[in-house]
């Protein structure tokens, strides 16, 4: 049938009808909100470079209030990042019971309970004096990031985070074999029920700048191109994701999100039954936020459109700094 019998506009004629036939929907169940805990502060402070977000002391009523307020909005998932002023070569504060993530997660469990679904970022870049996600070694006068010795550190971090009460650990360092090493460490330590959300296809992107400023995690030499993925590659993402699944990942991830919608779609089609997360990263957040602040676009509409694009591409879970505002928009729609 053709026009005038076929008129697609009939299904767009009123909001209620558009809502009824919408192919993609957003729910607060889809959202994971990043949280920054900083052991070097004693009170809540703005996270410079990431407008609208804050640092929280690991054990503070401000942290508890922030989580409780977002639970009330319907946000269940929180991804905890730790910042320390006590950096060293091995990033030992990352696997210390005195470290920020351990203390924050323990505090959340003691004061809020089991309701929040807690994911913990598992990496060492923000804990090390060199700023890399792995341990550097020198070979033939050149510094490289040593894969296998780094896995030993990751395993220690995973166990500490599980002990604190994390539901999921989220290894983001892109070391080969990291999921298997972490799975073995968790299982052998009695934490077989703690899951792994793997940063499976994490690209060496220019979009992490605001986050690195907040986390004080810029590399002190070189860059991360030897372990994060090349933006020119897409098929390689399938290999990385498949390896993570085979090694025991419960949730897989593509990062960044908006610049890599094609990767999200391809991963979803290749692995339709594995939960897929996508990280709407700090650079993407600030591009929308800054454009809206300058009056170039409508913030609420842009946020929903961007988040729907990620969901439409195939992501089940979306890690986003816009989570509270998205939840408010969903609640008031």
User: What are the CA-CA distances from residue 140 to residues 147, 148, 233, 239 (Å)?
Assistant: 17, 19, 29, 30
Measured between alpha carbons, how far is 130 from 146 in angstroms, rounded to an integer? 13
Measured between alpha carbons, how far is 300 from 210 in angstroms, rounded to an integer? 21
Burial 49-72 (b: 16+ CB within 10 A, else e): ebeebbbbbbbbeebbebbeebee
CA 108 distance to own-chain centroid: 19
**Among 246, 254, 209, residue whose Cα is nearest residue 228:** 254
Is residue 255 annotated as part of the catalytic site, yes or no?
yes
Is residue 202 annotated as part of the catalytic site, yes or no?
yes
CA 97 distance to own-chain centroid: 23
> Which letter does DSSP use for residue 230 in this model?
P
Q: Which of 255, 289, 294, 311 is catalytic?
A: 255
**Among 85, 71, 162, 73, residue whose Cα is nearest residue 122:** 162
> Which letter does DSSP use for residue 128 in this model?
B
Structure tokens at 299: 């913030």
Radius of gyration (Cα) for the chain, nearest Å?
20
Q: Which of 202, 289, 294, 311 is catalytic?
A: 202
Q: CB of 273 within 8 A of CB of 245?
A: no
Q: Annotated catalytic sites, by residue?
A: 202, 255
């Amino acid at each position: 049938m053709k026009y005038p019998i076929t008129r697609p506009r009939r299904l767009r004629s009123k909001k209620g009808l558009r809502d009824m036939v919408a192919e993609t929907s957003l729910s607060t169940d889809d959202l994971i909100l990043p949280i920054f805990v900083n052991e070097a502060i004693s009170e809540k402070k703005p996270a410079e470079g990431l407008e609208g977000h804050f640092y929280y002391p690991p054990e503070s009523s401000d942290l508890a209030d922030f989580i409780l307020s977002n639970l009330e909005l319907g946000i269940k998932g929180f991804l905890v990042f730790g910042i320390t002023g006590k950096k060293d070569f091995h990033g030992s504060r990352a696997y210390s019971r005195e470290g920020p993530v351990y203390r924050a997660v323990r505090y959340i469990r003691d004061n809020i309970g089991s309701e929040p679904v807690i994911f913990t970022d598992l990496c060492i870049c923000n804990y090390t004096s060199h700023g890399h996600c792995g341990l550097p070694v020198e070979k033939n006068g050149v510094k490289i990031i040593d894969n296998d010795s780094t896995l030993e550190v990751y395993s220690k971090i995973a166990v500490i985070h599980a002990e604190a009460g994390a539901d999921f650990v989220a290894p983001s360092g892109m070391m080969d074999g990291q999921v298997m090493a972490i799975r073995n460490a968790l299982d052998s330590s009695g934490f077989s029920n703690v899951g792994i959300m793997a940063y499976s296809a994490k690209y060496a992107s220019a979009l992490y700048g605001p986050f690195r400023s907040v986390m004080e995690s810029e590399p002190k030499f070189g860059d991360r191109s030897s372990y994060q993925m090349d933006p020119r590659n897409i098929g390689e993402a399938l290999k990385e994701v498949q390896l993570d699944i085979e090694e025991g990942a419960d949730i897989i991830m593509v990062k960044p999100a908006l610049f890599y919608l094609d990767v999200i779609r391809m991963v979803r089609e290749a692995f339709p039954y594995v939960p897929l997360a996508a990280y709407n990263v700090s650079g993407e957040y600030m591009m929308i936020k800054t454009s809206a602040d300058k009056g170039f676009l409508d913030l609420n509409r842009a946020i929903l459109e961007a988040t729907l694009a990620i969901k439409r591409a195939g992501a089940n879970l979306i890690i986003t700094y816009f989570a509270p505002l998205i939840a408010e928009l969903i609640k008031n729609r």
